[in-house]
Amino acid sequence: MPRHLVTIRDVAQRAGVSTSTVSHVINGTRFVSPELAERVREAMAELRYQPNAVARSLRRRETLTLGMVVPDNANPFFAMMARAVEDTCYRQGYSLILTNSEGDLGRELANINVLVAKQVDGLILAAVGLGSRDLQRVLRQVPTVVVDRELSGIQADTLLVDNFDGGYQATRHLIELGHRRIGCITGPSVTTPSAERVTGYRRALSEAGLPYEETLVVRGDFQFAGGYEGAQALLSLPQPPTAIFACNDLMAVGAIAAAAALGRRVPDDLSVVGFDDTILASYVTPALTTVAQPIADIGRLATEMVLQRVQAPTDPPVRRVLPTRLVIRQSTRALVDDGR
C-alpha cells in the first residue's frame, strides 16, 4: 500500500498544537514559545515531515535561493569567492545556485535566464560582458549585484577592488627592487579589472621615469596557458624583461613554469608578481609575491548587498571599492646586475 503522505495536520496532532502554530514555526511568521516550537520540531522529525518548499515559495513569493554566475569556477579566485558566498548564504538561511559561463557571453545570458526562470531571490554576477540592454532587463526582474566588473551605463549595485592601486603596488615593488625592464601579462581585453591593473602598471613606470614599451606588454587570458605563453614571448625578446607582473595568480604560475622551461630561475634570473593571492600563491615554488584581494570579504559583502537589495529594491544603487595589498613572498628579489 502507498505510504501515507504526512501533512501539517498530522504534525499538529502529534505535537498537540494547532495547524497555525505549526505553520508559524515552519515559516517564521509569528513568535512561538520555545517549548511549543521544540514540540513541533520533534513531531516533524518523528513523522519525517518535509515542508513543501515550492508551495511555501508561492505563498511568500520567495525561494530563499540566490543565483551566481562566474566566468570560470575552476579559477581559484572565483572558486574561493563562490565558497564565501555559499557560506554566507547558509548563515542567512539561503541556498546558492552557481553557474559557469566559461567566458562566453551567450552562455552567460543562458545561465541568467535559467536562474531568473527558477525565481531566485537575487543574483550575483561576475559578468563577462553583458550589454546594457540585457542587464537592464535582468535588473527589472531580480535584485542584482555585479562583482569584479565595472559595467558602464548600468545603474546596479557594484562591488569592486582597487585594481589600479594593485597594479601600481605590484610594479612599484619591482621598481624598488631595481628592475627597469618589467614585462606585463594582461587579462582579456573585455575585462575592466585587467585594464585597471595595466593602468596602475603604467602609472608606476611613469612616476619612476621609465618608458612604457608595448613590446613588454602581452595579452593573456587569466589562465595558466596564457601566462605560460605570455612569459615565453617576453623572455624570447632580444632584450627580455628581468621581472614580470602577471595580472592574476594563474598566469603568474604559468610564467614561472615558462621560465623554468627556458632555464630561467625565479627569482634569481626573473622576478614574478601575481594578483589575487589565491591558495596557489602559497603553494607554488617559489611562493608567489602577489597583490591580495580580500576574496572572502568580497563573497560575504556581495551576498549581504544582494540580500539588502531584496529588502529595499528602490534604494539608490551602491558602489563599494575594497582595498588591495601587496604580499611579498619568494618569487621576487633585488636585481643584482641589470646588464640587459
pLDDT in tens, 87-104: 999 888 889 999 998 877
User: What CATH code is assigned to 65-160+295-322?
Assistant: 3.40.50.2300
Lowest-confidence region among 139-143, 241-245, 289-293:
139-143
Domain-wise residue ranges, the chain: 8-51, 65-160+295-322, 163-293
Tell me the three cell numbers of residue 175. Answer: 621598481
- Asked whether the domain spanning 163-293 has the same topology as the one spanning 65-160+295-322, the reply is yes
Q: In whole numbers, what is the pLDDT of the chain averaged over residues?
A: 88
* Superfamily of structural domain 163-293: Response regulator (3.40.50.2300)
In sequence order, which residues have a C-beta less than 8 Å from that of residue 279 and are 6 or more positions away?
76, 80
pLDDT category, 1, cuts 50, 70, 90?
Answer: very low
- Mean pLDDT of all residues in 116-122: 90
pLDDT of residue 31: 76
Q: Rg (Cα) of the chain, in Å, rounded? A: 25
CA gap 124, 126 in Å, rounded: 7
- Is the per-residue pLDDT at 56 higher than 60? no
What's the CATH fold of domain 8-51?
A: 434 Repressor (Amino-terminal Domain) (1.10.260)
